[in-house]
Structure 1
Amino acid sequence: MPLHKLLLLLLLHIAVIDAIHLCPLQGPIWPAPTGLSNDATVQSALKNITKTIQNASDAGNFSGASLSLEIFDTSSSNALLTYAHTAKEINTTLGVSKVDENTVFRIGSTSKMFPMLLLLIQGGFSPLQDPISKYIPELKAAADDLLGNSTKRNNGIDYTRWNEITVGELASHLAGIARDYGVLDLTEQASLLQSLGFPALPPAQIPPCGVPNPCSRKQFFDGMLQSHPIVPTSSTPIYSNAAFQVLGYVVEALANGKDFEKVMKEKITKPLNMAHTFYTTPNSSLGVIPSYQGEYWWDFDIGEEAPAGGIFSSAKDMSTFGRAILNSTLLPQSTTRRWLKPLAHTSSIDYAVGAPWEILSFGNERPIDLYTKSGDIGTYSCVLSLDPDHSAGFVLLGAGNNTHVSLALASDLVSQSLLPALEQAAKNQAHARFAGKYALGTGNSSITITTDDGPALVVTSWVNNGTNMFPSYMALSGITDPSMLSIRLYPTGLESPGQLSFRAVIPPPLPSGIGPFSSSCISWVTVDGSVYGNVGIDEFVFNLDGKGNAVSVSPRVLRTVLPKTK
């Protein structure tokens, strides 16, 4: 075929795909790829990431910060990529002289992942529905006082509704409570504030603890109970470190009074062999210490707020931690799936909030959600990013000046190369495993499955007992133009030994929309919308060999199994 005709057909094919408005289901469009250490597409992307990060560092885009990066997947305990950059401005007398995957950094608010995981390990999702007053006697007393005091009860601006707040609202930043108490209160810089026009405060209004003396539990609750609420519960996410200090106390309550550090060691760091993860300040010889204020921030003690932001770890350990979440090593898979979900919007359409996830959406063809948690404390920053669709993730640690901005830039650079490569690897592997012709020996029943420029596996021909099934599915779907029919098979995540489940999505004919009511994807509504003998017309099951490759497929509504012939 002449090249110009081939290009024309390709353009027409792409135009038809665009016109159909395929609307994939939310979530993976192919099974997660495996063996990524040997995948050419991913390996090429990893080399590009190394080069891009190094070039950005050489250009001074990371403000002289030391960096430690690991990219990982769940099919191996080894990292896909380990990269480290050591800044010139570090204190080698106190800390390491060269950063590697075991170098310890402070991870700031990424620490919040630890109390959240411990809550799920100890009680699953049940405690998240409980009122916080069930576990914290100081807050039960405050809730009882509020209910018995009409003045406080009618004052919604000055008094927090502790009787309304659940454990889950604290975990997802939906409690509406103050960000901190004591830690980094600006009374530490009272003279500067007064020179800027702020009034001098009487001693009773100055927190008695914070820096350099962390608050005791009593001081913390005495102060928090005087703090004004920010917004009503479950109205909008408002970031709170104090919420996770409280959750640290819930972890201890669920452990019958055992202190948080011991629970963390018993339930997380010891089972996962995270030897470079610490609840309290480790020996500085294990860490990277920036020359400017590095020693100060390495030793900075936030006391009992540590579950919110005080933990120390390494890139290798945090990769192990992230891999364990994706693999459900410490939790039932059903709990992990429930946990990896958004709970609130933010004002950015591509940024949602979970418990305590910061969920970022990438991609134009379909949203790929990264479940992330970033953290900053002084000269240290961390980003943990998990990609459930591809069973992969990365961790970035930074130490130096302006590390939050540096790690945000580095995370964008990693994501821009990594996500398309993971998607392409998943597509390539899906094609190799499932694409081909499936037919019975008589030839009267067959189906051909492949991949194209659109999402998911696509059915290109289908005959059952001599009947072309395309017109049949057009009639059932209300489609009159054959060019508008697209039957695409999406993985459901359901599996049995030697079997993998898919569902077909057939986009209905819809007019061009002018807004979200008329143009939003409704594929999630149409799945299993038509059943015959209690079996969905969209249900497909592939039977697999020992290597995970398809040997037959069953369009289950037809009560038949078609062996793969080529």
Structure 2
Amino acid sequence: MFIHKSLFTPLLALVVGTAGSIIASNDVPLIGPSFSSNFDPSDSKALSAAKAGFPDLIKSLFSAGALNQTDLVFTVDVFSAATNTSIYSYSHVGEGQNGTLTADVLNDNTISRLGSVTKLFTVYAILAQAGLEVFNHPVTRYLPELAGNHGDDSWDKVNWDDVTIGALASHQAGSGGAADFLKAYENDAGKYTPEEFLTYMRDVKHAVISPFRNAVYSDGGFAILGLVLQRLSGVPCKDAMRDILFKPLELDGMSVKAPTASDVNAIDRSRVYNTSAWGIDVEIVTASGGLYGSTADLRTAGLSILNSELLSPATTRAWMKPHSGTGSLVELVGAPWEISRLTIPVTPGSNRTRVSDLYTKAGGNGDYTCIFALSPDHGIGYSILIAGATASSARWPLRNLVGETFIPAAEHAAAENAESNLTGTFVDESSAGTNLTLTVDKGSPGLGLESFYVNGTDIRAILLGATKPIPVSARLYPTGPNSFSRSLSSLYRTKGTMRMSYRMVGLALPLAPRAAVEGGNGGLFDNSFAWMNVGFSGTLDEFIFEVVDGQLVSVTSPGTKLVLKRA
């Protein structure tokens, strides 16, 4: 494999802001995984190197002043859908912070505040209760109290008749924050009724943007979604969360208010800091940022999403898609995913990259912050729970470090597995001149279809529609369909026999230059048209892999009706 001893040098450079130049791979891949993920990454060379190097990278953040070593308490957990377990954990308790730990220990079950990661659970509960179609329903279907506020000026009020549940979930309703309501309607008891809130949002709240114009972060919109969840379920939001998510998934440490049991295992900064946000719970914004939970809870929830435990596989895939762009080329917005469009080195030691989307959600309540992330391409995820006076700023370098360490490592572990278990020459035993060869190539994404001979003629170009052999680049990518199930979880299945579909992205040589923004010599546009040509001629570009206990044993070409077995 291409594991390089200096793997972590560029990662550390990224952390301290001196990243080297990287450019897109010459071949344009499909968005999605480069290689199949049905293997245990735990003991791969790439993951082993990432785990071994991570503590030193944390020390570098301390040394650089990016993290306050004394002030912070935090835990990092990386988990895999292939094993359904944690594959790496790291924890830190700053000097003098032991008094914040109610059980005198920081472990998997220690509870902290999740902040706006709550928003993800609110949408998860709505989808589990009502299905994906609820995204298209107008919010006034469930909250008619918001209807009928049309004004002469579109900026004056939010026109709720134009707002859907999906617009609220993806921050595209124009509903803005909730702080102005909390200030305007504050009373002695600190309680706010749903009626007061809905009246304010209908009659007073100014529109931040027009519905669906673009995404603008909205705490107020998620407070409304909490009331939608109440109407959908027939019980208060806190009870709906409990019944729809916490109980079925056994999220034992998760709650909508600070736990008060005498034996609770938590990070309670109010024990030593009277300005802590611990226990400051405002019910009207519970659905926006009110949850408490542990590392174990976040891992279980993340695996339930990757494994489609509560949602149908199609709903899961549809949910994990962008709904809006932003002013950044590398940040998209989902419902309510904060999607980081990563450029990952396609193989270790290469400066050639491909795009992989990391689905994240960040949260913060004063001196508590949280990061949650899932990578469907690799079947892994991670969470970070942070507490401390500097928790708000600490979440970003920690988010970056974990992502920049473990996502490339997972990509390289997949390449490592592919080279060991998927590459080789496969032959038609009835014809000496009929065979194909699969490779993993440094600096290139996906499996290389180095050759595909039928009766002595390389037919790769012919599969693309050419009338005669011409020089081509042909690479294969997993596309999802398989013989095991329609669930995402099948993509991470490591044992038994499974047939899975790959498609060939074939491009005539010489390849068109990548766009300038991708580090190439082209101009504004991509001229490969790679995604437009897949499946154009039916099954000619399809290859069915038969994998037994992770190893590829035969390749079927439906377009040629050939079955080729490992030589």
- Shorter-chain TM-score bucket reads 0.7 to 0.9
1:450 counterpart = 2:439: yes
The 2-side partners of 1:338 and 1:253 are apart by 24
Give yes or no for contact 2:30–2:477 (8 Å, CA) kept in 1: yes
Equivalent of 2:283 in 303, 323, 337:
303
> Matches of residues 279-290 of structure 1 in structure 2 within 5 Å?
279-283=256-260, 285-290=264-269
TM-score by length of 2: 0.85
Give yes or no for contact 1:184–1:210 (8 Å, CA) kept in 2: no
Question: Cα gap change, 1:159/1:423 in structure 2, threshold over 3 Å: closer, same or farther?
Answer: same
The 1-side partners of 2:411 and 2:188 are apart by 47
Deviates more, 1:432-441 or 1:19-28: 19-28
The 1-side partners of 2:131 and 2:553 are apart by 39
Equivalent of 1:496 in 483, 507, 512:
483
1:88 counterpart = 2:91: no
Match of residue 70 from structure 1: 77
| SS class of match (2:503) | strand
Query: Computing the radius of gyration over CA atoms, which structure comes out larger, 1 or 2?
Result: 1
Match of residue 419 from structure 2: 431
1:22 counterpart = 2:22: no
Match of residue 549 from structure 1: 551
| SS class of match (1:281) | coil
Question: Cα gap change, 1:435/1:212 in structure 2, threshold over 3 Å: closer, same or farther?
Answer: farther
Question: Cα gap change, 1:121/1:487 in structure 2, threshold over 3 Å: closer, same or farther?
Answer: same
Deviates more, 1:264-273 or 1:84-93: 84-93
Question: Cα gap change, 1:369/1:313 in structure 2, threshold over 3 Å: closer, same or farther?
Answer: same
Partner AA of 1:357 in structure 2: W
The 2-side partners of 1:443 and 1:30 are apart by 29
CA positional deviation for 1:389: 0.3
| SS class of match (1:542) | strand
Question: Cα gap change, 1:210/1:554 in structure 2, threshold over 3 Å: closer, same or farther?
Answer: farther
CA positional deviation for 1:33: 4.9
| SS class of match (2:384) | strand
Question: Cα gap change, 1:477/1:127 in structure 2, threshold over 3 Å: closer, same or farther?
Answer: farther
Gaps of 5+ in 1: 1-17, 147-151, 186-206
Match of residue 342 from structure 2: 362
* Deviation sequence 1:474-516 (CA, Å, 0-9, x none): 8718985x3xx11111111110143110001112455546666
Match of residue 200 from structure 2: 223
The 1-side partners of 2:467 and 2:453 are apart by 17
What is the RMSD of the two structures over their aligned residues, measured on CA atoms? 2.4
Give yes or no for contact 1:177–1:243 (8 Å, CA) kept in 2: yes
Question: Cα gap change, 1:33/1:62 in structure 2, threshold over 3 Å: closer, same or farther?
Answer: farther
The 2-side partners of 1:409 and 1:19 are apart by 25
Give yes or no for contact 1:487–1:506 (8 Å, CA) kept in 2: yes
Give yes or no for contact 1:108–1:309 (8 Å, CA) kept in 2: yes
Give yes or no for contact 1:490–1:503 (8 Å, CA) kept in 2: yes
Task: Write 1 or 2 for the structure with the bigger share of helix.
Answer: 1
Match of residue 120 from structure 1: 127
CA positional deviation for 1:518: 3.8
Match of residue 226 from structure 2: 248
Deviates more, 1:306-315 or 1:496-505: 496-505
Deviates more, 1:74-83 or 1:167-176: 74-83
Give yes or no for contact 1:72–1:393 (8 Å, CA) kept in 2: yes
| SS class of match (1:337) | helix
| SS class of match (1:344) | coil
| SS class of match (1:554) | strand
The 2-side partners of 1:20 and 1:403 are apart by 37
| SS class of match (2:466) | helix
| SS class of match (2:86) | coil
Question: Cα gap change, 1:479/1:173 in structure 2, threshold over 3 Å: closer, same or farther?
Answer: farther
* Deviation sequence 1:426-449 (CA, Å, 0-9, x none): 112122222111112331211111
Match of residue 18 from structure 2: none
Partner AA of 2:423 in structure 1: A
> Matches of residues 470-481 of structure 1 in structure 2 within 5 Å?
470=460, 472=462, 476=466, 480=470
Equivalent of 1:409 in 397, 404, 409:
397
Give yes or no for contact 1:346–1:353 (8 Å, CA) kept in 2: yes
> Matches of residues 373-384 of structure 1 in structure 2 within 5 Å?
373-384=361-372
Match of residue 246 from structure 2: 269
The 1-side partners of 2:460 and 2:292 are apart by 58
Match of residue 390 from structure 1: 378
* Deviation sequence 1:25-47 (CA, Å, 0-9, x none): 11111011521222232122112
TM-score by length of 1: 0.85
Match of residue 144 from structure 1: 148
Match of residue 135 from structure 1: 142
> Matches of residues 524-543 of structure 1 in structure 2 within 5 Å?
524-529=531-536, 531=537, 535-543=538-546
1:235 counterpart = 2:213: yes
| SS class of match (1:558) | coil
